[in-house]
């Protein structure tokens, strides 16, 4: 997978389950999308913007489009797991929001991932395990311990780990989570912290 186009903005000319077409300077770009992104699209004929990712295969160049950077980054993390291709990544993010995916990984709730079409228990467990390990190695490379900023609350630690799944540096994630009541549910801490971070990515 290569990142060539950061985003695309233009007129939405067509949309159906699975993809949308954005026309820019007379060229229609077919972007494969999640159902969550589809719900965020405007009406046909109106301006739309998608954050994009290009998948290079021997016989095709597939462009994927997402309504938010958070969804794009979650897709990249998911497809980085062994055995998870773009199709599975789209299926997961069509069934779950990025926040729910991150929370599932942070809390070890792999069963939640099986709600996505084509994702069985074995693959779901692999996703949760590999992403959890990536977060741990990411934190070690960052030289930062979440407990140095946030309380010992398991909810706060899980929320910080979830934000790391979405691509934020552990230091930024922990600082953001530490501004809120650590007794709040994990998903609520993630939601509030994302607003606090305001799209800042590592």
Per-residue confidence (pLDDT) for residue 35, from 0 to 100? 95
pTM of the entire predicted model: 0.79
Q: What is the pLDDT of residues 170-186, one digit of tens each?
A: 788 888 888 888 888 88
Q: What is the pLDDT of residue 3?
A: 52
pLDDT of residue 135: 64
Position 172 scores a pLDDT of: 86
Query: How much is the pLDDT for 153?
Result: 56
What per-residue confidence (pLDDT) applies to 4?
Answer: 64
Taken in order of first residue, the domains within the chain and their CATH numbers are 7-67 (2.40.50.140), 70-197 (1.10.150.20)
* Residue-by-residue DSSP string for the chain: -B---SEEEEEEEEEETTEEEEEETTEEEEEE--HHHHHH---TTSEEEEEEEEEE-SS-EEEEEESSHHHHHHHHHHHTSTT--HHHHHHHHHHS-HHHHHHHHHHT-HHHHTTSTT--HHHHHHHHHHHHHHHHHHHHHHT--GGGTS-S-HHHHHHHHHHHHTT--HHHHHHHHTTS-TTS-HHHHHHHHHHHHTT---
Question: What is the pLDDT at residue 136?
Answer: 60
Which segments of the chain have a pLDDT < 50?
Answer: 1, 138-152, 200-202
The per-residue pLDDT for 185 is 86
What integer pLDDT is reported at residue 202 of this predicted model? 36
């Amino acid at each position: 997978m290569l990142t060539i186009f950061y985003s695309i903005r233009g007129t939405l000319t067509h949309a159906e389950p699975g993809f949308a077409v954005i026309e820019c300077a007379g060229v229609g770009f077919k972007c494969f999308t999640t159902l969550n992104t589809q719900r965020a699209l405007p009406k046909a004929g109106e301006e739309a913007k998608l954050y994009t990712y290009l998948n290079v295969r021997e016989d095709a160049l597939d462009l994927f489009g997402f309504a938010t950077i958070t969804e794009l980054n979650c897709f990249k993390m998911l497809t980085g797991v062994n055995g998870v291709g773009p199709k599975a990544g789209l299926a997961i993010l069509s069934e779950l929001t990025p926040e729910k995916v991150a929370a599932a990984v942070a809390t070890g709730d792999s069963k939640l991932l099986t709600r996505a079409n084509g994702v069985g228990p074995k693959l779901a467990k692999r996703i949760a395990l590999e992403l959890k390990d990536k977060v741990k190695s990411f934190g070690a490379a960052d030289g930062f311990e979440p407990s140095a900023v946030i309380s010992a609350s398991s909810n706060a630690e899980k929320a910080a780990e979830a934000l790391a799944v979405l691509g934020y540096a552990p230091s930024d994630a922990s600082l953001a989570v530490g501004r809120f009541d650590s007794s709040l549910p994990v998903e609520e801490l993630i939601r509030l912290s994302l607003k606090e971070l305001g799209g800042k990515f590592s």
